[in-house]
Chains A and B, each alone.
Chain A
């Protein structure tokens, strides 16, 4: 980037915010000059040109390659492993199994209390680790993996959660396949609520299992230096990986350094270490060489997480005036072969999104012989939304009300599902629905569609839905160290990972806003447990609201010290000083001004260090993002082909920190929602083998660039949240994908009169449903 890039005009000459007195918190920004602008990513050039070094790019001259030998069966006992052939193969340097000294380790599955061995003799899902191999080239390693002779006792399997509780189903853990007691929630009295209702509807829904498939594969490079282990891992959080690896290997945290400057996507599947991380570390130790171990694309489909399938039933009651009287929800889900949150948060929207006095939820999690779930962009929410938003749509129709009005009738101002009914700091739900509807032209489109009889077999339909996201307010801890060097450039030290969402860019903008620095003079060092500050993983849409207030606090601290030095040198009152264009000037005495690099005090010190912490969230209030989405589809009434024509997303995620990265999240979230709604599903061979059929990118159908609707309009709603935190930002990345699939389903219903209650809505399903309806007519 050129130093005086004219596109960065807004960096020039703007006043920086007032400096709070020592001990005081900064006030909310009133006018911003950098924050909110559509600034390209600070590392865009590196990412696009390929010069960014991702963990997959890390390389050392003496590095060798690791592979994991995985079970080809969904349920099998390893009876014998013969590695002798593999060990003799060219280039092979180490083969480890559960009986290798030091590899007989306990593995704790991340979301629950399940434990197994790292190399467990009972492989309860396809792809679970049986052995690890390191060789000089990836090809030699793969060949050696094929030469490991494993004698399995193949056991009967169950890969469909709907069959897991059948008496004949093989039991994966414990007495039956229940993970635990049902997860229940109740408020009010649903029976009373249904009795009060004018209309009661009950519908079953199902969402399929989705795989994260981020661009960068799961894996790492592990290298030992004496008793110190360094891991370059593609991860959403270097500190959680450090903790997991240290835990499994019994090492002090301080001896495990995890680095992940760049990472190519995770969507929730990279919030912790994988078995691959530990296996790479063991192989590196055994060989005395750095070991690179990245799973293959196919392996990542099996063992690195998924959005679990949900089988839901929702019964809902409404009065003629649109008052919701009762919601009763059940769900059967599965986290796979070990406890992994198979039903986690599926019912949250039923509990909390709309005002309803009587709610009952019961969710059951069962084991199946398939890979474990991991958080997946808004865990549970798109599933629950699939049921709730479609049900609301059906209720609206039943009472002849506009679905927009039905939702507006039931907007809560506080969180009903949390103890003590805490209010939200802000809820933009109403505004999202209203402004989104206006931007979409909802009323007009509805009127037009109801007045015109559609000819031909291509029918237009519109649909809408709303959402909130369970968290998204961020939280402590976070520590930021900001160093201002004597030439006026700054170094921002932050533990958090940038998932590709633009975290680094947003943080540089906060520093630029506070100190008046140019973005390209701010260097960010992040995601390194050895060299950056403690941070929790980037997940839950918490990174911006967690880190940006800490960054702001650090910048304010630097500013205080800087102005103090300047006040001494200019012999003036610090209160009167401000910064503009890299110059410190007095508002009272125009002659008193000095450029930052000319400050003698700063030259002498060499650096000003400001430390910022993330303070607590407001007590007794909740910080949640909200949203509403609207779409138009065209449906071929004969073939069941669905074209998503346009989308409007009105999202309330507090302050818009960067309009460009904000809109990118909206587009990405909607695209992912289109995948859930229209094309994606894990297919397991339920009959003969229990193996996954579609473990690649053409059988597992992700939306591609060509599937993104031409028109996606992002309508940011910012009610000015002054309580959430000092930057007023809330999470965005997850809420943007929550209602999308249901919104499309509502539009498809509007076009066809057919309610598709199971994902994905491809012609495979819809064509048959259309034909069956025609037959009945």
Chain B
């Protein structure tokens, strides 16, 4: 059923980078997303390079400046269970806990999570759409109830499926990438790619590049964070609408805010409008109402996803209200 491919399990990062010889060579971590894509023939693979033996890429460590370094192979369950994460980055621990199902979280890694492929049902189905190299986006005129309201550039209206990613953006994380040309650091906010830039890619990774770790800087004193997700099916499902918040307070005023949506756009979607409204203010009812309205001010809903407008507003209002309470 699957086309033939070779399989390489590497013992070092260098071997991994060397092994990634063609555009159709794929990195294999937990396999929860990749194997499904291959089974469904979403894209071809001529070689799988398994990095699961690279123990150095596993685990959560403190950095010198009081932040955390999360190895790419750390599982979502390990993130949820980490006391350090829960204490300093509760919004990220929550986001990891909201992703997928318990079984998938035990197997799926954070590196794989931020690199996962979109869930647009046309993309995942027998439709040769724009993102797969075809000529047409089926979703704009079709069944788009789970699609984007921002950032589609009238090209492709996927929503990025990751829950941890918006939280990572909110915490201003940096992704360490190792490739044939060495190491580079990519701010999480720049890690995902909009359709306007490249409709066939979801991340900035170039051929041969591997995510090795994600670095979280020490949050400013007085930072509160949260992640909230609304699903069509309560138990486990991708986000209809999600909100990641990392807000630093000074006294009862907001000093700095990062507000990032999931289920909204082809990339984790930062809403600077909201950040601007709340910064320097007390999170009182009128500020929150303004912020909630600003969340969707520039949204462009499609035929079947107008519900996302009130939904994002509702979640923003709920989350800011909860955050104001501490």
Binding site for B on A (CB under 8 A): 72, 138-139, 142-143, 457, 636, 638-641, 643, 678-679, 683-689, 691, 693-696, 698-699, 701, 703-707, 760, 762-765, 767-768, 770-771
Whether the Cβ atoms of A706 and B136 lie closer than 8 Å is no
Whether the Cβ atoms of A639 and B232 lie closer than 8 Å is no
Whether the Cβ atoms of A768 and B310 lie closer than 8 Å is yes
Choose one: B1, B126, B237; the contact of A691 (CB below 8 Å): B126
Whether the Cβ atoms of B314 and A691 lie closer than 8 Å is no
Give bound CA distance, A636 to B314, whole Å. 10
Whether the Cβ atoms of B125 and A639 lie closer than 8 Å is no
Interface flags, B131-156, vs A, CB<8A=1, else 0: 00000101001110100000000000
Indicate whether B199 reaches chain A with its CB closer than 8 angstroms. Answer: no
Whether the Cβ atoms of B1 and A139 lie closer than 8 Å is yes
Given A764-B307, A765-B307, A72 and B126 touching (CB < 8 A)?
yes
- What are 20 A-B residue pairs whose CB atoms fall within 8 Å in the complex? A138-B1, A139-B1, A638-B314, A640-B311, A683-B121, A687-B142, A688-B136, A689-B127, A689-B138, A691-B125, A694-B121, A699-B124, A701-B233, A705-B235, A706-B236, A707-B235, A763-B307, A763-B311, A770-B310, A771-B307
Indicate whether B240 reaches chain A with its CB closer than 8 angstroms. Answer: yes
Whether the Cβ atoms of B235 and A704 lie closer than 8 Å is yes
Choose one: A688, A695, A707, A767; the contact of B314 (CB below 8 Å): A767
Q: What are the nearest 5 A-B pairs in CB distance?
A: A771-B310, A706-B235, A638-B314, A768-B307, A693-B121
Contacts of A139 in B (CB 8 A): 1-2
Given A683-B121, A691-B126, A699-B121, A764 and B240 touching (CB < 8 A)?
yes
Whether the Cβ atoms of B143 and A639 lie closer than 8 Å is no
**Size bracket of the B interface:** 35 or more
Contacts of A688 in B (CB 8 A): 136, 138, 141-142
Smallest CB gap from A705: residue in B: B235
- Expressed in whole angstroms, the minimum distance between the Cβ of A134 and any Cβ of chain B is 15
- Interface residue ranges of B268-326 to A (CB < 8 Å): 306-307, 309-311, 313-315, 317-318
Contacts of A771 in B (CB 8 A): 307, 309-310, 313-314
Whether the Cβ atoms of B232 and A679 lie closer than 8 Å is yes
Indicate whether B227 reaches chain A with its CB closer than 8 angstroms. Answer: no
Indicate whether B181 reaches chain A with its CB closer than 8 angstroms. Answer: no
Contacts of B191 in A (CB 8 A): none
Give bound CA distance, A317 to B125, whole Å. 47
Contacts of B310 in A (CB 8 A): 638, 767-768, 770-771
Contacts of A687 in B (CB 8 A): 138, 141-143
Give bound CA distance, A760 to B233, whole Å. 10
- Expressed in whole angstroms, the minimum distance between the Cβ of B130 and any Cβ of chain A is 13
Give bound CA distance, A704 to B121, whole Å. 20
Whether the Cβ atoms of A638 and B127 lie closer than 8 Å is no
Whether the Cβ atoms of A707 and B317 lie closer than 8 Å is no
Choose one: B121, B235, B237, B311; the contact of A639 (CB below 8 Å): B311
Whether the Cβ atoms of A643 and B234 lie closer than 8 Å is yes
- Expressed in whole angstroms, the minimum distance between the Cβ of B89 and any Cβ of chain A is 25
Contacts of B313 in A (CB 8 A): 771
- Expressed in whole angstroms, the minimum distance between the Cβ of B241 and any Cβ of chain A is 8
Whether the Cβ atoms of B138 and A685 lie closer than 8 Å is yes
- Expressed in whole angstroms, the minimum distance between the Cβ of B267 and any Cβ of chain A is 21
Whether the Cβ atoms of B125 and A767 lie closer than 8 Å is no
Choose one: B1, B143, B230, B233; the contact of A693 (CB below 8 Å): B143
Indicate whether B249 reaches chain A with its CB closer than 8 angstroms. Answer: no
Whether the Cβ atoms of A638 and B317 lie closer than 8 Å is yes
Give bound CA distance, A689 to B127, whole Å. 9
Smallest CB gap from B304: residue in A: A764
Indicate whether B171 reaches chain A with its CB closer than 8 angstroms. Answer: no
Give bound CA distance, A643 to B313, whole Å. 21
Give bound CA distance, A7 to B234, whole Å. 38
Whether the Cβ atoms of B232 and A701 lie closer than 8 Å is yes
Whether the Cβ atoms of A701 and B318 lie closer than 8 Å is no
- Expressed in whole angstroms, the minimum distance between the Cβ of A239 and any Cβ of chain B is 34
Contacts of B1 in A (CB 8 A): 138-139, 142-143
- Expressed in whole angstroms, the minimum distance between the Cβ of A340 and any Cβ of chain B is 24
Whether the Cβ atoms of A638 and B318 lie closer than 8 Å is yes
Given contacts A638-B318, A686-B142, 7 further A-B contacts (CB under 8 A): A139-B2, A143-B1, A640-B307, A643-B234, A693-B121, A693-B142, A771-B310
Give bound CA distance, A139 to B3, whole Å. 9
Give bound CA distance, A701 to B232, whole Å. 8
Contacts of B233 in A (CB 8 A): 678-679, 701, 703-704, 707, 762
Contacts of A768 in B (CB 8 A): 306-307, 310
- Expressed in whole angstroms, the minimum distance between the Cβ of A643 and any Cβ of chain B is 7
- Expressed in whole angstroms, the minimum distance between the Cβ of B184 and any Cβ of chain A is 34
Contacts of A770 in B (CB 8 A): 310
- Expressed in whole angstroms, the minimum distance between the Cβ of B77 and any Cβ of chain A is 16
Given A706-B235, A770-B310, A693 and B122 touching (CB < 8 A)?
yes
Whether the Cβ atoms of A762 and B232 lie closer than 8 Å is yes
Contacts of A762 in B (CB 8 A): 232-233, 240
Give bound CA distance, A705 to B235, whole Å. 8
Give the interface centre of B230, B234, B315 by most chain A CB atoms within 10 Å.
B234
Give bound CA distance, A699 to B318, whole Å. 27
- Expressed in whole angstroms, the minimum distance between the Cβ of A83 and any Cβ of chain B is 19
Given A683-B121, A688-B138, A763 and B235 touching (CB < 8 A)?
no
Give bound CA distance, A694 to B136, whole Å. 19
Whether the Cβ atoms of B122 and A707 lie closer than 8 Å is no
Give bound CA distance, A638 to B288, whole Å. 15
Given A640-B311, A768-B310, A686 and B143 touching (CB < 8 A)?
yes
Contacts of B315 in A (CB 8 A): 638-639
Give bound CA distance, A678 to B234, whole Å. 10
Smallest CB gap from B136: residue in A: A688
Give bound CA distance, A641 to B233, whole Å. 9
Choose one: A638, A704, A764; the contact of B232 (CB below 8 Å): A764
Whether the Cβ atoms of A641 and B234 lie closer than 8 Å is yes
Contacts of B101 in A (CB 8 A): 704, 706
Given A686-B142, A701-B233, A764-B145, A639 and B314 touching (CB < 8 A)?
yes
- Expressed in whole angstroms, the minimum distance between the Cβ of B29 and any Cβ of chain A is 20
- Interface residue ranges of B54-95 to A (CB < 8 Å): none
- Expressed in whole angstroms, the minimum distance between the Cβ of A709 and any Cβ of chain B is 11
Give bound CA distance, A640 to B309, whole Å. 13
Given A639-B230, A688-B141, A767 and B311 touching (CB < 8 A)?
yes
Give bound CA distance, A701 to B235, whole Å. 10
Give bound CA distance, A693 to B121, whole Å. 6
Give bound CA distance, A771 to B127, whole Å. 34
Give bound CA distance, A687 to B143, whole Å. 8
Smallest CB gap from B314: residue in A: A638
Smallest CB gap from B3: residue in A: A143
Smallest CB gap from A679: residue in B: B233
Smallest CB gap from B144: residue in A: A687
- Expressed in whole angstroms, the minimum distance between the Cβ of A156 and any Cβ of chain B is 16
Contacts of A706 in B (CB 8 A): 101, 234-236
Whether the Cβ atoms of B307 and A767 lie closer than 8 Å is yes
Smallest CB gap from A72: residue in B: B126
Whether the Cβ atoms of B136 and A763 lie closer than 8 Å is no
Whether the Cβ atoms of A683 and B230 lie closer than 8 Å is no
Whether the Cβ atoms of B235 and A685 lie closer than 8 Å is no
- Expressed in whole angstroms, the minimum distance between the Cβ of A295 and any Cβ of chain B is 14
Contacts of B127 in A (CB 8 A): 685, 689, 691
- Expressed in whole angstroms, the minimum distance between the Cβ of A639 and any Cβ of chain B is 5
- Interface residue ranges of B234-259 to A (CB < 8 Å): 234-238, 240-241
Give the interface centre of A72, A138, A636, A641 by most chain B CB atoms within 10 Å.
A641
Smallest CB gap from A762: residue in B: B232
Choose one: A696, A703, A763; the contact of B230 (CB below 8 Å): A763
Whether the Cβ atoms of B232 and A763 lie closer than 8 Å is yes
Smallest CB gap from B102: residue in A: A706
- Expressed in whole angstroms, the minimum distance between the Cβ of A500 and any Cβ of chain B is 22
Contacts of A685 in B (CB 8 A): 122, 127, 138, 142-143
